[in-house]
Structure 1
């Protein structure tokens, strides 16, 4: 068994054998163990738009606080260190520096993340089925470190977005910004099945390694 923490209710981690999904209703900050984990802690307050949408800030003057995620990243980091497995966050996440984690090369390759046995890398989810490149940071403890499909790919602007909004606006929205919107962020934040399966396999290996120790 592995536990998938901070996942979407009814999303890609549901209805899978040997996966215990924790959505917002279950509150993954309360995860008691004992299974290794795949951690998808919320990233909104750690990314480049941590303060909020520029238009909203301009209209209201209200800015969010960097890292104000109600302790989700801190709890997720504690869980992956304690139970083993893998944690993911977007490339450019401010959480890596805030928690003293080494920022790996954008081009890929595992490097030591800290002095507690962690390893980190960057890999594009676009190489595993996402419609955009979506570079992603991984942080692993006590599990296999697989060779991944490393590299920096060419930008992937959605042709439908370019046709509907024009190239200039499509570039401003970015590769993931044009799909979904409002309450429907699933196209942007959804985890492609091949990438999900990779993360699950990494977490499952933590069980094997610990039983062999």
Structure 2
């Protein structure tokens, strides 16, 4: 039962979740809003409308409305609550807390806490502990699964050597290593889920089978 199938929702086509045994990936060609089970899920709903620049960009100005993601996060939340699983979103996601949020709460950086909805559990973890080139602080919402002990806390500061040489320590530290990623694949590189972290999320989703059997 621990090896049961898992659905990976809102993932990059041909990315980290493709080609894995027991994982049904829902890339761009499949509309994950219409996932109807029965397997537990790992969900990475789009975050653009929930981030720092969800409405206003410092260069382009007003761009959208916070939370206007065509129902992607709401559908991911419904799937996790219905079938078990975990949602991954960036730290400070406005889907978790704020006037447009689903009132899930602000996670702790050192462990799991009960979500404000009284259903799931939330936490903060840095993907840098699992192989991402930056810290990439992440918020998780989980329901119906076992809650693992993760590598909690703040990782070490990572400074891009080019930025250090060009701008000096103070500015290089301020802009962070992720800001130095460029080229046509910059979005894919920044958004990529490290294989080790992906496997943690998949294992969490698969634990839903054991909890169902024990219920």
Q: Residue 110 of structure 1 aligns with which residue? A: 112
Higher mean C-alpha deviation, range 116-125 or range 169-178: 169-178
Give the CA deviation at 1:115.
Answer: 4.2
Q: Residue 154 of structure 1 aligns with which residue? A: 156
Q: 1:33 aligns with which of 32, 37, 48?
A: 37
Which consecutive residues of structure 1, in runs of 5 or more, have no partner in the other structure? none
CA RMSD of aligned residues (A): 1.8
Give the CA deviation at 1:27.
Answer: 1.1
Q: CA separation of 1:39/1:172 partners in 2, compared to 1, >3 Å: closer, same or farther? A: same
Instruction: State how many pairs are aligned.
Output: 208
Conserved 8 A contact 1:155-1:175: no
Q: CA separation of 1:22/1:164 partners in 2, compared to 1, >3 Å: closer, same or farther? A: farther
Q: Residue 46 of structure 2 aligns with which residue? A: 42
User: Secondary structure in 2 aligned to 1:207?
Assistant: helix
User: Secondary structure in 2 aligned to 1:140?
Assistant: strand
Which aligned pairs between 1:191-206 and structure 2 lie closer than 5 A? 191-206=193-208
Which aligned pairs between 1:62-211 and structure 2 lie closer than 5 A? 62-97=62-97, 98-105=101-108, 107-163=109-165, 167=169, 170-171=172-173, 173-180=175-182, 184-211=186-213
TM-score w.r.t. the length of structure 2 is 0.89
Question: CA–CA distance in 1 between the matches of 2:167 and 2:70?
Answer: 36
Q: Residue 16 of structure 2 aligns with which residue? A: 12
Question: CA–CA distance in 2 between the matches of 1:132 and 1:9?
Answer: 22
User: Secondary structure in 1 aligned to 2:106?
Assistant: coil
Q: CA separation of 1:166/1:65 partners in 2, compared to 1, >3 Å: closer, same or farther? A: farther
TM-score w.r.t. the length of structure 1 is 0.90
Give the CA deviation at 1:54.
Answer: 1.4
